[in-house]
Structure 1
Amino acid sequence: MTSPDRRLLRLGVNIDHVATIRNARGGLHPDPVRAAIVAAEAGADGLTVHLREDRRHITDTDLTRLSEATALPINLEMAATDEMLNIALRERPHAACIVPERRAERTTEGGLDAAGLHNSLAPIVRQLRDNGSRVSLFIAPDAAQLHAAAALGAPVVELHTGPYSHAEGAAVAIELERLQAMATLGARLGLEVHAGHGLTFDNVGPVAAMPEIAELNIGHFLIGEAVFIGLAEAIRQMRAHMDAARA
């Protein structure tokens, strides 16, 4: 930690795509556990991993190894299925972020419908909370979804920043205004607000500047940038962009 103010905005580093590269060829390299250690040394505040149904990213073994190899809190992204619930109850990650998941998608394409899935999500949220994990819901920046998250008793929401990240022209300001309004609403509802998806050095600043947001989760861009400047340097530069915006 370089300054007390840094902790006002945490950086969660998603290391899924280290495992994606490994899985493309098979074998042991590159090892996501090594990436986790590098992330910790470079100033990450936590690790995010998505254990998908098809295991295209990390595997069950990776999750166990990561828990044993680093003291950083692990944020497990998971679908709302019996299989994933049982794994999360066994592994007891610091945080469990429930996300929508479709086998055919390249990456998470939208937010969880917390409002429409209330009855099926309620027992999952309750069991995860009772088991000691901090539950978050990955949702679109939408008032109905925020109210649904609060009603479910999830203490954290992660706002999907994909529409902002991919916006062009006048749409950028519109999406930023939406994110700010929903971050404000989330805080008013007593939720801890996180954000993530598609954030880069170029677009992270306006989101990082929102005082209601406590954490950003960033992965694909950092792993891609690591090809050119190394993972530690990519994380340090992202941390610097976030700190500058928040200051």
Structure 2
Amino acid sequence: MIRFSVNINKFATLRNARGGNNPDVVKAALDCERFGAQGITVHPRPDERHIRYTDVMQLKDVVTTEFNIEGYPDERYQQIIIEAKPAQATLVPDGPDVLTSNAGWDTIRNQAFLKEIIQELKKNGARVSIFVDPQPHMVEGAAKVGADRIELYTESYAREFLVSPEVAVKPYIESARVAHELGLGVNAGHDLDLNNLNFFAKSVPHLDEVSIGHAVVCDALYYGLENTLQLYLQKLKV
């Protein structure tokens, strides 16, 4: 079974646009779980432009599915992991000035840094996933630094899917196979949606989890949140 983790950042973005607590981020997370999500993902950035530190601390006490915290592994992020103790810590390479994740880690150039960080995170009981581009040598680098999983960055798949789905998915198939051979779990995320998700799920072997946020919130405007989550779960039945 491919697990579906809902990234709730955009709920927080909408709340922050007006102040107050509408929509209620904690309620949104609990509703996503109630409607079938098997995980909740957050990315608490330093400027708190969407998910805030206080959100994470509230969510850690109520999320009953798999809690996944993304972020650049600076001291602030590491402290959040220590306090929140999520099931999964997903390391992304983007700094505080980046609008949204736009590349995977260079696991070779950053080998020493990532290895040290991962050792520390694992002391707090978190499974560690590294955000990588669909390149086998970067997957191999993730294994060498001690990651438990990779998260394949799927922006290029989503873009190229519109031209040729078979060509778009090919590097992801190869990377997932390499990961499995090395004992790594396989996650995926970024720009997956109702149009391209099923083909990806059917094509990529050994896929453990997808994390989707922006598209879920956009679709919920038209279909409603409960119906939207059911539509995504149907796409993951392969």
TM-score by length of 1: 0.92
Residues 86-106 of structure 1: per-residue CA shift (max 9 Å, x gap) = 221121111000001233332
Matched-pair contact (CA < 8 Å) for 2:160–2:167: no
Q: How many angstroms apart in 2 are the aligned matches of 1:84 and 1:168?
A: 33
Q: Quick one: structure 1 residues 222 and 64, their matched pair in 2 at CA, closer, same or farther if it must change by over 3 Å?
A: same
How many Å apart are 1:154 and its aligned residue?
0.7
Indicate the residue corresponding to 1:241 in structure 2: 235
Question: Superposed, which structure 2 residues align to 1:187-226 within 5 Å?
Answer: 187-209=180-202, 210-226=204-220
Residues 195-222 of structure 1: per-residue CA shift (max 9 Å, x gap) = 1110111100121112311111111100
Question: Superposed, which structure 2 residues align to 1:77-226 within 5 Å?
Answer: 77-167=70-160, 170=163, 172-209=165-202, 210-226=204-220
Indicate the residue corresponding to 1:229 in structure 2: 223
Between 161-170 and 117-126, the greater mean CA deviation after superposition: 161-170
Indicate the residue corresponding to 1:5 in structure 2: none
Question: Superposed, which structure 2 residues align to 1:33-112 within 5 Å?
Answer: 33-112=26-105
Q: Quick one: structure 1 residues 168 and 11, their matched pair in 2 at CA, closer, same or farther if it must change by over 3 Å?
A: closer
Q: Quick one: structure 1 residues 25 and 171, their matched pair in 2 at CA, closer, same or farther if it must change by over 3 Å?
A: same
- Secondary structure at the aligned position of 1:158 is classed as strand
How many Å apart are 1:233 and its aligned residue?
1.1
How many Å apart are 1:164 and its aligned residue?
0.6
- Secondary structure at the aligned position of 1:132 is classed as coil
How many Å apart are 1:168 and its aligned residue?
5.2
Q: How many angstroms apart in 2 are the aligned matches of 1:171 and 1:182?
A: 18
User: Any stretches of 5+ residues in structure 2 without a counterpart?
Assistant: none
Residues 108-130 of structure 1: per-residue CA shift (max 9 Å, x gap) = 11112222111111111001111
Residues 20-41 of structure 1: per-residue CA shift (max 9 Å, x gap) = 1111111111111111111111
Total equivalences in the alignment: 237
- Secondary structure at the aligned position of 1:145 is classed as helix
Superposed CA RMSD? 1.3
How many Å apart are 1:171 and its aligned residue?
5.0
How many Å apart are 1:59 and its aligned residue?
0.5
Q: How many angstroms apart in 1 are the aligned matches of 2:124 and 2:97?
A: 31
Q: Where does structure 1 differ by over 2 angstroms across 4 or more consecutive aligned residues?
A: 102-106, 168-175
Matched-pair contact (CA < 8 Å) for 2:112–2:145: no
- Paired residue type of 2:73: A
- Secondary structure at the aligned position of 1:27 is classed as coil
User: Any stretches of 5+ residues in structure 1 without a counterpart?
Assistant: 1-7
Between 216-225 and 100-109, the greater mean CA deviation after superposition: 100-109
